[in-house]
Amino acid sequence: MGTQMKKTYKIEVDCANCANKMEEAAAHTPGVKSATVNFMTLKMIVEFEEGQDPKTVMQQVLKNCKKVEDECEIYL
Amino acid sequence: MTKKQRVMLTRILVSAAMLIVLSFLPVTGVIRFILYMAVYLVIGYDILRKAGKGIRNRQVFDESFLMAIATIGAIALAIYEKSGDYTEAIAVMLFYQIGEWFQSYAVGKSRRNISELMDIRPDYANIEKNGKLEKADPDEVEIGSVIVVQPGEKVPIDGIIVEGEATLNTSALTGESLPRDVHVGDEIISGCIDMTGLLKIRTTKEFGESTVSKILDLVENASSRKSKSEDFIAKFARVYTPAVCGAALLLAVLPPLVNMLVLGQFADWETWIYRALTFLVVSCPCALVISIPLSFFAGIGGASKAGVLVKGSNYLETLSQTRIVVFDKTGTLTQGVFEVNGIHHSGMDEEKLIEYAALAESASSHPISKSLRRAYGKEIDRGRVTDIREISGGGVIAKVDGREVAAGNDKLMDRLNVDYIDCHSVGTIIHIAIDGKYMGHIVISDVIKPHSQEAIRRLKAAGVKKTVMLTGDAEKVARQVAGELGLDEVYSELLPAGKVEKVEELLKNKPEKEKLAFVGDGINDAPVLGRADIGIAMGAMGSDAAIEAADVVLMDDDPLKISKAIKISRKCLRIVYQNIVFAIGVKLLCLGLVAVGAAGMWLAIFGDVGVMILAVLNAIRALFVKNL
């Protein structure tokens, strides 16, 4: 069993619904096992699938999030 | 205000000012168009860009798209009609932006309001090295190290005090404003603020396992699970926006065609296209998609400020439907600590009797002996005690100050041929005989928490139909506690597995809509916490098992917090339903008025922005839970 890959990123998003959109976009990105956006603390917690490189996956996550919510930001 | 908000506010003010000035300038034709377009772009360029991007990314039906279509359409209509009336289109954009700005400001404000809780994260731990204090990363402090906490600092890691005493502020953890005094030997949990004295603490946990980390983890991971209302709105918005766009299209095309082809009248395209555009402005679902998640955000935030941590909005929803509350007895309704609860038939000064009992029992580490010593309260002078004999299954006989003291149960008294008076109180009875003469008995029992009775009463007042107590204790004890507190049902002498069975039985026999909450202290009842509709753990300030097993965590162990938590959830859900009904209702009304031509663009702006601002204000109300 590999180690569980879970990382927390600081994000910037304006409304609670946009946060939900980001969460959905991130969760549907290949390589992401699950994603949670916490609007209260402005954090995104991403759990990666085994053998995935968080850096490359997160680039794609950011891209997908920008697609659904233009004004969001993830600090990688 | 963030930088973004300042920029937006400037844009709003500038374009509003420009709009007012323009309305007094007698310009016409192309120049008029150019000037008005300048205002339009100042206020709306980002919306247009977003709408464009949305189309490219196949995220067509969002608010920006609706706003862009409605405003561009209105401008096109104004050009076609040569009316030169661009004000309405700009006003739509302007008010939309005001609404968005307001929403973002309100969110920022409430976030700051909640973020006090987040302030508990300690940044460093002081470690003494060669007589000097050094700041270390709390993550790198090993178990068993001694850390130093100075007045004004946060306790970074759980541990035991080895030196110093202080008054702690635990309000960030418990919502309890009363400070707590701690001394050498006391356990101390991370996240408290040392207000007065220098403390040296031997750590008992790693930083990652410390209370403060667990709590932060919980709060940061909260809201990961969506409530049914949020799911409903998300689904609703997915269907709703395309549907109103379709309806608007029909409104623009169908009536003119009917007029022209069926009735043979003048088609009147302009009127119907204008109505369709107005229709689009009203239809923007912002009020719903923004205010519903915001209500839960505020509800969870408000709850955590009151020391009630809710792990997700779905739990807040379930909590609000709670009709049956099942309690674990020990540690939940009672203190779980044994205390001297009464002294009866004492043949001497009561304090003296306790003193003799405490001295006689001074060699024992049994919880009963400990509570006797606690009741005595003073230092035990072992020199006064000699010839201690433990009588197994009976008690202790010892010489105190030269007198023979026997302390124990009725069997011991029988054995010594001492006549004793039976006690009808519930608990452990310690009979005392001195020099063969009966001197009365001491009752030691688990004490009901001071607020338990009030807590049950408030739960009933809050609409809880049934209160049940489960305990591993003897029936007599259980009945007495249940009677005193006014509980509806009690099941005693249960093993941990038996508690799960009982809860399952209760779950089976209740209606689907009435939810069952189980309240425990997290020790030994993790399976039950998991089995109930909603598991509430009390006293996160002690057991971290509780934090993991439960859905709702009460930071301190005051049972009053249970009804408070339920009330907070009710308030939040009430706001959610109010917003759903209000927003959909007003929108449908406005849509109807617009479709028949009874209302114009200004009403549409109210139907969009006005409703949103009201819904957001209402949502923010969920944050205020102090007087519940």
Residue B45's pLDDT is what? 92
Residue B375's pLDDT is what? 85
CB contact set of B97 (below 8 Å; sequence gap of 6+): B8, B11, B12, B43, B44, B47
Query: In this complex, do A43 and B220 lie within 8 Å of one another by their Cβ atoms?
Result: yes
Q: Is B202 left (phi over 0), alpha (psi -120 to 50) or beta?
A: beta
Q: How far is A1 from chain B (nearest CA, A)?
A: 22
- Residue B371's closest CA among B412, B406, B337? B337
Residue B319's pLDDT is what? 93
Residue B540's pLDDT is what? 58
Residue B338 near residue B445 (C-beta atoms within 8 A): yes
Read off the pLDDT band of B503 (50, 70, 90): very high
| Six token digits for residue B389 | 């004999």
**Span B365-380, average pLDDT:** 80
Query: In this complex, do A39 and B223 lie within 8 Å of one another by their Cβ atoms?
Result: yes
Nearest CA in chain A to B302: A40
pLDDT tens column, B174-209: 766 678 888 888 888 888 888 888 899 999 988 888
**Span B398-414, average pLDDT:** 88
Q: Is B427 left (phi over 0), alpha (psi -120 to 50) or beta?
A: left
Q: Which of A56-60, B105-109, B280-284 is the most confident on average?
A: A56-60
pLDDT at B547 over 90: no
Query: If you average pLDDT over every residue of chain B, what do you get?
Result: 85
CB contact set of B391 (below 8 Å; sequence gap of 6+): B397, B408, B412, B415
Read off the pLDDT band of B161 (50, 70, 90): very high
Q: How far is A74 from chain B (nearest CA, A)?
A: 16
Please give the torsion angle defined by the CA atoms of residues B7, B10, B15 and B16, in that order, rounded to the nearest 10 degrees: 140
How far is Cα A37 from Cα A48, in angstroms, rounded to an integer?
15
For residue B6, the one-letter residue type is: R
Residue A1's pLDDT is what? 41
pLDDT at B466 over 90: yes
Please tell me the pTM assigned to this model: 0.80
Pairing of strands A32-38, A43-48: antiparallel
The percent of residues in chain A predicted with pLDDT above 70, rounded, is 93
The DSSP-derived string for B511-525 is: -TTSEEEEEE-SSS-
**Span B107-130, average pLDDT:** 77
CB contact set of B346 (below 8 Å; sequence gap of 6+): B353, B439, B440
Read off the pLDDT band of B415 (50, 70, 90): confident
Supply the DSSP symbol for B347: S
Residue B90's pLDDT is what? 92
pLDDT tens column, B40-98: 999 999 889 888 888 887 776 677 888 898 899 999 988 888 877 888 899 999 999 99
The DSSP-derived string for B72-140 is: HHHHHHHHHHT----HHHHHHHHHHHHHHHHHHHHHHHHHHHHTTGGGG----EEEEETTEEEEE-GGG
Read off the pLDDT band of B225 (50, 70, 90): low
Q: How far is B223 from chain A (nearest CA, A)?
A: 6
| Six token digits for residue B607 | 């139907």
The percent of residues in chain B predicted with pLDDT above 90, rounded, is 23
Residue B285 near residue B605 (C-beta atoms within 8 A): no
Select the more confidently predicted residue: B115 or B74: B74
Q: Residue B8 — φ and ψ, nearest 5°? A: -65, -40
Residues of B with a catalytic annotation lie at 328
Contacts of B294 in chain A (CB under 8 A): 15-16
User: Is the minimum CB–CB distance between B299 and chain A shorter than 8 Å?
Assistant: no
| Six token digits for residue B476 | 């007599």
